Each structure stands twice: as C-alpha cells, then as structure tokens.
C-alpha cells in the first residue's frame, strides 16, 4: 500500500495536484515570487516539458529548480540588508506511469547511488509539484483545513496543502524491484513525468 503523501489533501480538504492542474494541463512557467518580509522565500520558475507525438516528455536538459531565500535579522535584533542566496536543485529522475505499472527512472549518471536500494522494502520519494508551480499557488501561506471556511486558518507548514512557498512533496512507496536505473514501485500520488528530487530510506 502506498504510504502517506505529504502534499495530498484528504486531511486538509484542498484539491489534489490532479485537480489543481485541471486534468493534467500544465501551468505556464512561473515568474519569480518575491517575499514581502525578511526570511520569506522567493523562487524562480523552471522550464516546462515539451510535447512530442501527443505525449509529455521532460527534456534531458531540464532547467534547475531554483529555491531562493533571504537573510533574517541579526541575532542582536538589528536590521540587516536583505541578501538573497540561491540554491540550485536538479532532478535526479522522473516518475513514469504506464499500463504496466509505476516506476521511478533515475538519471543514469546517478545510478551508482542506487546501490543497496534493492535491499529496502520501502523508500521516501521527494518530488516537485511542478503543475502547481505558479505565483498564485506559491504565495498562499494560510489555508482553512479541509477547505472548510468554518475551520480556523492554519499556516501551510501545519497542513498538507499542495500550495506552499517551495512545492516539495513527500511520499512513502513500496519497492517492488530495482533494475539498473529503474525502480519499480507500487504507486505514487504524482503525475507521470513529475521530477524527482531525492530518495531516502
């Protein structure tokens, strides 16, 4: 059975990434979102997939996912200039889905990092909610749990909302087999061709 998926919203009442993208339609490239106060994250959009023969395919030259953060006030309480530090995060692989099952295809240059994965029963998959990558979604900081306005507002860090400053998702999946650079899994609540950021036992 597939483990809990952090961004999914059965608990919080938000549309799943499937609903948010209107049946798989990709959103346009996102413009950078700048925080209004120190310490608030900013981001740059990433390049989108290309279409070939009616099927989505991620370019091998997929652009880095850029995560940016601003400095916080000094420990003495004095204001400090807002200096941005930029972190580049590259996909290590992609989620692939066919009628035959679900796999995570790791970029061949990272295949040596799979040594020992075949001995694990399950693994955590960190991936990027690229279909939700837009300025509006990334600027949401508070939501009503379960989508019910009667519920008090909560910060997105206290929920599983797919709308958050950095669109990192986390799912626990069962490993069925490992063949070369391909991990066969029991399933994952992510779209086909979703970029995978990391794997952890």
Looking at residue 80, what is its pLDDT? 56
Does position 95 have pLDDT exceeding 60, yes or no? yes
Looking at residue 113, what is its pLDDT? 98
Quote the CA–CA distance of 10 and 147 in Å, as a whole number.
10
Quote the CA–CA distance of 141 and 145 in Å, as a whole number.
12
Query: What domains lie within the chain, and their CATH numbers?
Result: 17-200 (2.40.30.70)
Quote the CA–CA distance of 99 and 96 in Å, as a whole number.
10
Residue 13 banded pLDDT, cuts 50, 70, 90: very low
* Mean pLDDT, the chain, whole residue set: 72
Quote the CA–CA distance of 3 and 94 in Å, as a whole number.
19
Closest CA to 136 of 170, 113, 165: 165
Tell me which of 196 and 60 has the higher pLDDT: 196
Residue pLDDT, tens place only, 33-43: 333 333 333 33
Looking at residue 112, what is its pLDDT? 98
Looking at residue 147, what is its pLDDT? 81
Q: Are 22 and 7 in contact (CB under 8 A)?
A: no
Confidence (pTM): 0.61
Residue pLDDT, tens place only, 138-154: 999 999 988 889 999 99
Kindly tell me the burial class for residue 31, based on how many C-beta atoms sit within 10 Å of its own C-beta (0-12, 13-18, 19 or more).
exposed
């Amino acid at each position: 059975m597939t483990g809990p998926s952090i961004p999914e919203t059965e608990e919080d009442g938000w549309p799943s990434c499937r609903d948010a993208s209107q049946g798989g339609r990709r959103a346009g490239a996102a413009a950078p979102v700048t925080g209004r106060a120190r310490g608030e994250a900013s981001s740059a959009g990433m390049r989108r997939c290309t279409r070939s023969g009616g099927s989505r395919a991620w370019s091998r030259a997929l652009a880095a996912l850029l995560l940016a953060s601003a400095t916080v006030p000094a420990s003495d309480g004095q204001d400090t200039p807002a200096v941005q530090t930029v972190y580049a995060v590259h996909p290590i692989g992609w989620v692939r889905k066919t009628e035959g099952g679900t796999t995570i295809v790791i970029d061949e240059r990272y295949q040596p990092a799979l040594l020992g994965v075949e001995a694990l029963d399950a693994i955590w998959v960190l991936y990027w909610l690229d279909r939700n990558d837009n300025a509006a979604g990334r600027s949401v900081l508070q939501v009503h749990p379960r989508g019910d306005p009667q519920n008090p507002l909560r910060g997105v860090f206290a929920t599983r909302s797919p709308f958050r400053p950095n669109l990192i998702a986390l799912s626990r999946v069962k490993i069925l087999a490992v063949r070369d650079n391909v991990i066969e899994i029991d399933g994952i609540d992510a779209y086909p061709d979703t970029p995978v950021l990391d794997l952890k036992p």
